[in-house]
């Protein structure tokens, strides 16, 4: 009986998510259907419209932003925001950018997968701080890290998050997986208004594993992730999602349900070799990119992550 009720509620949530996907697809159409020659003529007008809209919104706090306004802004941003697709977002990770043609493709969704302590959060932060260095606004959404402790730890890598936050370039959002689920039901909610109001260019969700844990079966997990990706795609940010995954464990199916939905997958290994743990990095896929097919050694030290030479085949066996 309880099982049936659970199933029924699950189906309702799933159909809600499906509806959201359909609505989003409809919203995206006008931007995609613009002819290239029209796009050029429109881009100048669009720039002006966007900057007018932005200056109107800047005086308001996120909480005070009323929903209609967010909706209108959302549509305008989707249609008017000049796409940076085709450009690269450098990570600032020495040795990594050369593996992937100078960085992640702008506005793509990328998975950073690895076991506990493999360096996912540090990788993600380094990517965000590179954006800050370039004058971009970035958003870090975490379910796992506590702000004060996290800021303190990141100082060791030379990243002053408090300073970046005060300058308005870095936004730290401690979020519960339940709130993200709510965001899905609302079709974007508060996070979306933060992204549009601040014109966020880079975003990290650390990690989607905690979010996936809210769903008990593979189908609802997959549908929830699809709903999440569908919403994120409208935001035109370059996004990194971290995920807890053991690349050496063939039974670990954590990324199998989403591997086709993301634009790239980077694996971080932390393996024991001759009584010592070594770190390795591998780009499993990156759409539209002639990426390195080698597994490289990397280290975490004062400046963050540094990717080194390719691993000898015996090192990974
Ligand atoms: N200052 C530092 N210098 C060198 N290595 C460090 C330093 N700080 C942390 N590390 C290494 O980085 C690891 C943590 O990296 P990170 O937090 O990015 O891992 P993670 O993959 O996000 O882990 P989790 O799954 O627990 O969130 C530590 O376990 C340690 O090995
Ligand atoms: Mg982490």
Report the 10 Å Cβ neighbour count for 285: 15
- Per-residue pLDDT band for 250 (boundaries 50, 70, 90) equals confident
Q: Which domains does the chain have, with CATH numbers?
A: 2-68 (no CATH), 88-310 (3.40.50.300)
Mean pLDDT of 179-189: 86
CA distances to 95, 111, 230 from 88, in Å: 15, 16, 21
Is residue 35's pLDDT more than 70?
no
118 lines ligand 1 (CB under 6 A): yes
**How confident is the model over 228-244, as pLDDT tens digits?**
999 999 999 999 999 99
- Asked whether 248 and 264 are in contact (CB, 8 A), the reply is no
Cα of 125 from ligand 2 centre, angstroms: 10
For the record, the structure tokens of 114 come out as: 């690895």
Name which residue sits closest to atom 9 of ligand 1, judged by CA. 300
- Asked whether 31 and 233 are in contact (CB, 8 A), the reply is no
Separation CA 22–CA 1 (nearest Å)? 32
For the record, the structure tokens of 192 come out as: 């979306």
Separation CA 284–CA 269 (nearest Å)? 12
For the record, the structure tokens of 62 come out as: 């996120």
Residue whose C-alpha is closest to residue 206's, from 100, 300, 96, 119: 119
What pLDDT score does 315 carry? 59
Is residue 79's pLDDT more than 60?
no
What are the two backbone dihedrals, phi and then psi, of residue 235, each rounded to the nearest 5 degrees?
Answer: -85, -10
More confident call, 80 vs 105? 105
What pLDDT score does 32 carry? 36
Separation CA 302–CA 127 (nearest Å)? 15
Mean pLDDT of 73-79: 53
What pLDDT score does 75 carry? 54
117 lines ligand 1 (CB under 6 A): yes
**How confident is the model over 270-302, as pLDDT tens digits?**
999 888 999 999 999 999 999 999 999 999 999
> Which atom of ligand 1 is closest in space to residue 116's alpha carbon?
25
Is residue 303's pLDDT more than 70?
yes
Q: Where are the beta strands (DSSP E) in 175-314?
A: 202-206, 238-244, 264-273, 276-286, 296-301, 304-310
> Which atom of ligand 1 is closest in space to residue 156's alpha carbon?
1
What pLDDT score does 181 carry? 85
What pLDDT score does 65 carry? 39
Lowest mean pLDDT among 56-70, 141-155, 162-176: 56-70
Contacts of 24 (CB under 8 A, 6+ apart): 187, 230, 231, 233, 234
What pLDDT score does 314 carry? 55
Is residue 107's pLDDT more than 50?
yes
- Asked whether 264 and 285 are in contact (CB, 8 A), the reply is yes
- Per-residue pLDDT band for 165 (boundaries 50, 70, 90) equals very high
Is residue 115's pLDDT more than 70?
yes
What pLDDT score does 2 carry? 42
Separation CA 244–CA 207 (nearest Å)? 7
> Which atom of ligand 1 is closest in space to residue 242's alpha carbon?
22
Separation CA 252–CA 45 (nearest Å)? 50
For the record, the structure tokens of 195 come out as: 């992204």
More confident call, 217 vs 254? 217
Indicate which ligand has the atom closest to the C-alpha of 206: 2
Lowest mean pLDDT among 168-177, 206-215, 251-260: 251-260
> Which atom of ligand 1 is closest in space to residue 123's alpha carbon?
18
304 lines ligand 1 (CB under 6 A): no
305 lines ligand 1 (CB under 6 A): no
Cα of 118 from ligand 2 centre, angstroms: 8
Separation CA 243–CA 240 (nearest Å)? 10
300 lines ligand 1 (CB under 6 A): yes
121 lines ligand 1 (CB under 6 A): yes
Is residue 14's pLDDT more than 80?
no
User: Across all residues in the chain, what is the average pLDDT?
Assistant: 79
Query: Which residue's entry shows tokens 């992204």?
Result: 195
**Percentage of the chain exceeding pLDDT 70:** 73
- Asked whether 266 and 281 are in contact (CB, 8 A), the reply is yes
For the record, the structure tokens of 37 come out as: 């020659």
What pLDDT score does 231 carry? 93
Kindly list the protein residues that place their beta carbon closer than 5 angstroms to ligand 2, a single-atom ion.
120-121
Pocket test for ligand 1, best of 157, 245, 300, 301 (most atoms within 8 A of CB): 300
Is residue 73's pLDDT more than 50?
yes
């Amino acid at each position: 009986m309880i099982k049936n009720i659970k199933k029924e509620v699950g189906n309702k949530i799933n159909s809600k998510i499906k509806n959201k996907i359909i609505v989003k697809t409809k919203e995206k159409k006008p931007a995609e259907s613009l002819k290239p020659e029209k796009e050029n003529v429109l881009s100048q007008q669009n720039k002006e419209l966007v900057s007018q809209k932005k200056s109107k919104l800047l005086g308001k706090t996120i909480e005070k932003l009323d929903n209609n306004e967010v909706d209108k802004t959302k549509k305008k941003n989707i249609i008017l925001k000049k796409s940076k697709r085709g450009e690269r977002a450098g990570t600032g990770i020495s040795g990594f950018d050369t593996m992937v043609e100078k960085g992640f493709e702008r506005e793509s969704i990328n998975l950073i997968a690895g076991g506990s302590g493999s360096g996912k959060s540090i990788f993600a932060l380094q990517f965000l701080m590179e954006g800050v260095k370039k004058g971009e606004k970035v958003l870090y959404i975490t379910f796992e890290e506590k702000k004060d402790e996290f800021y303190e730890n990141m100082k060791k890598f030379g990243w002053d998050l408090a300073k970046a936050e005060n300058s308005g370039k870095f936004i730290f959002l401690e979020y519960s997986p339940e709130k993200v689920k709510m965001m899905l039901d609302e079709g974007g909610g508060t996070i979306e208004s933060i992204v549009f109001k601040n014109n966020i260019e880079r975003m990290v969700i650390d990690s989607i594993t905690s979010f996936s844990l809210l769903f008990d079966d593979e189908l609802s997990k997959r549908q929830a992730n699809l709903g999440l990706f569908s919403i994120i795609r409208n935001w035109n940010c370059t996004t990194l999602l971290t995920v807890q995954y053991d690349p050496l464990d063939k039974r670990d199916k954590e990324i199998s349900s989403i591997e086709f939905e993301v634009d790239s997958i980077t694996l971080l290994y932390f393996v024991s070799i001759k009584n010592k743990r070594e770190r390795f990095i591998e780009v499993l896929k990156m759409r539209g990119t002639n990426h390195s097919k080698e597994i490289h050694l990397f280290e975490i030290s004062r400046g963050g992550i540094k990717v080194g030479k390719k691993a000898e085949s015996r090192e990974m066996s």
